[in-house]
């Protein structure tokens, strides 16, 4: 009986080991696909390639935040992916690793005033430009999620859903999302009752109910029709 039990335990251990090895191999392949764009540019001789992405276009409140991230050639960080595919805890852990491993990280913010003055699309582009300009050195090439950023001299390659295609853009999406989430948690303390720490300013039933009950705060995007309608304006 003891022999059978040990055999069964050994079989389970081998199965778990095989499964773990399979998962590790799949992650290696996925990361390789995410790095194809960067590796091609690195092989061409470019060493300063920045991924750029934003977070916060859709919410009813708070700023839009962009990030630009540059890695030294050959850098790999398992787990880096489109921020929307990651849990909040995983995003925070990866953001810390990204900041430690990156050759440069820049963050740009499009304020409520920018959004009202420019509209959200152009405010997001402004935040992206500020993020690139906040890098320690001007990059040689930009990989951008779905946009071309005006006012920058370096070549740019826009990719639709780039945060799922490019390692650097995905890293920028993680940095932008975690940075904005922390800002919204701070706004929750400044403007209690709206639930910013929970929904991060997005259009949720709880946020709508709070707007109807309390009216807007200074961080609400009054240029959005949804916000004006909920406030009875």
Do both 181 and 91 map to the same domain? yes
Domain of residue 209: give its range. Answer: 193-230
Q: Are residues 178 and 209 in the same domain?
A: no
In a domain, 174, yes or no: yes
Examine the domain organization and report whether 143 and 50 are in the same domain: yes
pLDDT of residue 232: 83
| 233 touches 217 (CB < 8 A) | no
Per-residue pLDDT tens digits of the chain, which is 233 residues long: 566 667 666 667 655 666 677 889 999 999 999 999 999 999 999 999 999 999 999 999 999 999 999 999 999 999 999 999 999 999 999 999 999 999 999 999 999 999 999 999 999 999 999 999 999 999 999 999 999 999 999 999 999 999 999 999 999 999 999 999 999 999 999 999 999 999 999 999 999 999 999 999 999 999 999 999 998 87
Assess whether 69 and 46 both reside in one domain: yes
Residue 67 lies in a domain: yes
Residues 6+ apart with CB under 8 A from 223: 115, 116, 119, 120
Question: In whole angstroms, what is the distance from residue 151 CA to residue 136 CA?
Answer: 18
Distance, CA of 179 to chain centre: 9
- pLDDT at site 12: 72
14 belongs to a structural domain? no
- 163 with 200, same domain? no
Burial of 67 (0-12, 13-18, 19+ CB in 10 A): buried
């Amino acid at each position: 009986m003891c022999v059978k039990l040990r055999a069964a335990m050994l079989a389970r251990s081998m199965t778990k080991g095989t499964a773990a090895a399979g998962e590790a191999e799949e992650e290696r392949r996925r990361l390789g696909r995410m790095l194809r764009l960067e590796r091609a540019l690195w092989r061409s001789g470019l060493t300063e390639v920045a991924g750029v992405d934003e977070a916060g276009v859709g919410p009813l409140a708070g700023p839009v935040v962009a990030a630009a991230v540059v890695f030294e050639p050959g850098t790999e960080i398992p787990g880096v992916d489109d921020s929307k595919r990651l849990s909040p805890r995983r995003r925070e852990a990866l953001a810390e690793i990204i900041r430690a491993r990156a050759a440069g990280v820049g963050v740009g913010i499009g304020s409520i005033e920018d959004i009202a003055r420019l509209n959200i699309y152009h405010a997001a582009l402004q935040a992206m430009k500020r993020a690139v300009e906040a890098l320690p050195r001007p990059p040689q090439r930009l990989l951008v999620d779905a946009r071309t950023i005006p006012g920058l001299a370096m070549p740019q390659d826009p990719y639709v859903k780039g945060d799922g295609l490019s390692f650097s853009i995905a890293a920028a999406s993680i940095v932008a999302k975690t940075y904005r989430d922390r800002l919204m948690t701070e706004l929750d303390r400044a403007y209690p009752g709206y639930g910013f720490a929970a929904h991060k300013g997005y259009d949720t039933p709880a946020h709508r109910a709070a707007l109807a009950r309390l009216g807007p705060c200074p961080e609400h995007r009054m240029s959005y029709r949804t916000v004006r309608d909920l406030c009875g304006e």
